[in-house]
Chains A and B, each alone.
Chain A
Amino acid sequence: MSKHNVMEQMICAASRLLENGATVAVGTGAPCAAAMLAQKTHAPDLLILFEAGGVAPILPEMPISVGDSRTFFRGVMATGMCEIMETCQRGLVDYTFLGGAQIDMYGNLNSTVIGPHERPRVRLPGSGGANDFASFCWRTMVITPQDKRRFTRQMDYVTTPGFLSGANAREAAGLPAGTGPYRVITNMAIMDFEETSRRMRVISLHPGFTLEQVLENCGFELLVAERLERTDPPTEVELQILRTQVDPAGYIIGRA
C-alpha cells in the first residue's frame, strides 16, 4: 500500500472517533467517508442519518448529495427533514461533522458570506443543515484543512454556533445544554476545546507535522495540551477499505 495522503489521514482520524453503537448525522464528502469507513471497520453498528430523510442506509458507495437515493439505500426508513432534525433536537444523535470557509477559536463556523452580508465579496451556500446539527447534536466535529485565512480571529459571519464568545456563552444564548464543538480534525493536527475558556487546543499532531507548523497555519492563538499526542497514521486495513470500498473513484481522497 502506497504512502497515505493528508485527506486519508483526516478521514481515518475522524473515523476512529466514532464508536460502535453511536449515532451520527453526516453530509457528503469527507464526513461521509469517515462514517462509511467506521461502519466497515470498528463500528458496524454506527447509526448514520442524512438530513433529507435517509435513516441507517447500507451505503453502497459515496452519496453525491445528502438527498440522493444512496442515502437511504437498504435503509430502515426513508423520511423527511423534520423527522431527522427533531431526532437530533430530542437528543438522540451523538455526533455531527461540519466544515466551513472560516472557523474561529471557539469553533464558530462561517459558510454564508465573505465580506459584508449586504454586499458580499463571495456568496456561499448558507447554513443548510449546519446550524441545526451544531445546535442539536451532542458533539460537533469539524473536518477541514487549516491555514491562516480559514482559521481566523475575525469571522465575517457566524453561520453555525461553536462556543460563541466562549465560556458558557453557548448555553446562555439558549442552545441545548451540554452540546458544542468536540474535535477539529485538520490536515496537520487534532484539536479539542479547553473546558473553561472553550478555546481551541491542539491535542494531537499528525505524522510529519510539527507543533510550529500547526501554530503557524492558524490566524489565532491556539492553546496546546500539556501532553501532546501523535496521531496514528492510517493502518493498512483502513487504507485498503478507504481506497477500494469507500471511495474507489477517488472523489474525496483523490483531492489531497
Chain B
Amino acid sequence: MDVVQRGGGELFTSPDPDGAREFFRSKDKALAPKVMSVRKAVERFIRDGDYLAIGGFGANRIPTAVCHEIVRQKRKGLGFLGHTSTHDFQILAAGETFDRCDVAYVVGLEARGLSPNARRYMESGKVRITENSNYGLSLRLKAAAMGVPFLPARHLMGTDTFAYSPASVVTCPYTGKKLVLQPAVYPDVAAIHVHEADEFGNCRIRGIHISDLDLARACKRLIITCERLVHSDEIRSDPSRTAIPYYLVDAVCEVRYGGYPGCMAHEYFSDEEHLHEWLEVEKDPEAFASFLQANIFGVQDFSEYLERNGGMRKMSRLRRMELRIRAEEGRCGQE
C-alpha cells in the first residue's frame, strides 16, 4: 500500500500489536474476586502519566466516581482519549489531570453549552492536542480490540481534522481508492460504568454500549463501577447478556447512582440542574475552586457527593423521570 499522505497529529500511544500481546499474555486472568473501593482501585490501577479512557458518552453512563477520585488523588500528566467526553472531561480538566489529548469531542456538554473551565484549560497551551472524529477514535479502539495496528475508513480526507490527526491516507490495493488508516489505540487504563457486575468483573450493560465493548478489550487495565453487584450465578444463568468478561477486568466497585449527574438508561435521568450549576460556577475561577473543594476535595467519597447534592430524595426523583413514573406529589420530575 502506498502512503499518499500522513496526518501531522502526534501519536500518543504505540499501535504495535505485539507489545500489547506481550502485556495481555502476562495479565492475570484468574477467576478471582476483585471487589474494592473506588479509592483503592484508582490508587492501584491509575498512575501518573498513564493514557486514560473513560467509557460511556459524556454525561451518559460515565464512571463519575472514578473521575472524581482521579482528581481527588491528584493524578497528573495523564494522556486522555477525548471520545465524546463531556462531563467526564469537565471533571478531569478541573483537576488539570492530563497534558495530552486525542480529541473527537471535548469542552462542550452538547446542547447544554461549553464548559468555561475546560475551554480555558484547552486554550492554555498546557495540553498537547491531536484531532480526530468520534468514529475515528471508535475505530482506533476497535483496531486495538482486534489486535491489529490499524483499520481503514473513508472519512477525514481533505480536512484539517485529518491534517491534525495521527491517521494516514493510503491507496487501497484492491480498488485503487484512497483510504484513511486509523492507528490502534491501547489505553493504559480505562474506567467503565455498567448496570450489573459480579465479583469477578463479568458485566452487563443495558441500552447503547457506544464504544465500550471495544474499549474494554483495547485497554490494558480496566476499572468497572456498577450500579449493582450480582451473584455470579446470575451471570451464568444467561451468559448471552455478558458485555464484558471477567478476564479483562482489574477492579469492580459497586457505586449506586455512579453515573450521576449523567443519565443511566433504565435507572435514572441526568440532573440538568446540577450540570448547569457546574457550567455556571466555572465562569468564576475562585468560585469554581471552592465548588471543587466542597464537591470533590472536601468529601470522602462519591456517596458523600450524592448526599451533598440532594441525596436519595434527588435520586428517587431522577429515577422516576427515567422510568416515566408519576409520583403522587405531582408529575414525574416536575414536583
Q: Contact flags (1/0) for A120-154 with B, using CB distance below 8 Å?
A: 11111111111110011000000000000000000
B131-172 contacts to A, CB under 8 A, are: 131-136, 138-139, 142, 153-161, 164, 169
The smallest C-beta distance from A116 to any residue of chain B, in angstroms, reads 11
List 9 extra interface pairs beyond A64-B263, A67-B84, A174-B178, CB under 8 A: A52-B84, A80-B212, A126-B107, A127-B105, A130-B133, A132-B133, A159-B159, A174-B177, A176-B154
Q: Which residues of A are found within 8 Å of B178, using beta-carbon distances?
A: 173-174
A77-91 contacts to B, CB under 8 A, are: 78-82, 85, 89
| B283 at interface by CB-CB < 8 Å | no
Q: How many residues from A make CB contacts under 8 Å with B?
A: 55
The smallest C-beta distance from A96 to any residue of chain B, in angstroms, reads 12
In the complex the two chains form, is A69's CB within 8 Å of B169's CB? no
Are A132 and B211 also in contact (CB < 8 A) when A112-B161, A123-B123, A175-B158 are? no
Are A173 and B208 also in contact (CB < 8 A) when A28-B111, A126-B131, A129-B134 are? no
Q: Which residues of A are found within 8 Å of B59, using beta-carbon distances?
A: 65, 68
A46-74 contacts to B, CB under 8 A, are: 51-54, 60, 64-69, 71-72
A-B contact count (CB 8 A): 194
Q: Can you offer 27 A-B residue contacts whose CB atoms are under 8 A? A: A29-B111, A52-B57, A53-B207, A54-B208, A64-B112, A65-B270, A67-B56, A69-B264, A69-B266, A69-B322, A72-B208, A79-B208, A80-B208, A81-B134, A85-B134, A120-B123, A122-B123, A123-B122, A125-B107, A126-B107, A127-B161, A131-B159, A132-B133, A135-B157, A161-B157, A164-B159, A174-B178
B175-224 contacts to A, CB under 8 A, are: 177-180, 206-214
In the complex the two chains form, is A174's CB within 8 Å of B154's CB? yes
Q: Which residues of B are found within 8 Å of A65, using beta-carbon distances?
A: 57-60, 86, 110-111, 263, 270
In the complex the two chains form, is B214's CB within 8 Å of A82's CB? yes
| A23 at interface by CB-CB < 8 Å | no
In the complex the two chains form, is A72's CB within 8 Å of B207's CB? yes
In the complex the two chains form, is A128's CB within 8 Å of B134's CB? yes
The smallest C-beta distance from B319 to any residue of chain A, in angstroms, reads 12
In the complex the two chains form, is B134's CB within 8 Å of A132's CB? yes
A contact residues vs B (CB 8 Å cutoff): 27-29, 51-54, 60, 64-69, 71-72, 78-82, 85, 89, 108, 112, 117, 119-132, 135-136, 157-161, 164, 169-170, 173-176, 251
Are A85 and B135 also in contact (CB < 8 A) when A158-B161, A174-B154, A174-B178 are? yes
**CA–CA, A251 and B139, complex, Å:** 33
In the complex the two chains form, is B106's CB within 8 Å of A126's CB? yes
Interface centre among A51, A52, A157, by most B CB within 10 Å? Answer: A52
In the complex the two chains form, is A28's CB within 8 Å of B110's CB? yes
Interface residues on B, range: 35 or more
Residue among B153, B160, B207 making CB contact with A89, cutoff 8 Å: B153
The smallest C-beta distance from A23 to any residue of chain B, in angstroms, reads 17
Residue among B84, B177, B208 making CB contact with A128, cutoff 8 Å: B84
Q: Which residues of A are found within 8 Å of B94, using beta-carbon distances?
A: none
Q: Which residues of B are found within 8 Å of A71, using beta-carbon distances?
A: 208
Q: Which residues of B are found within 8 Å of A53, using beta-carbon distances?
A: 207-210
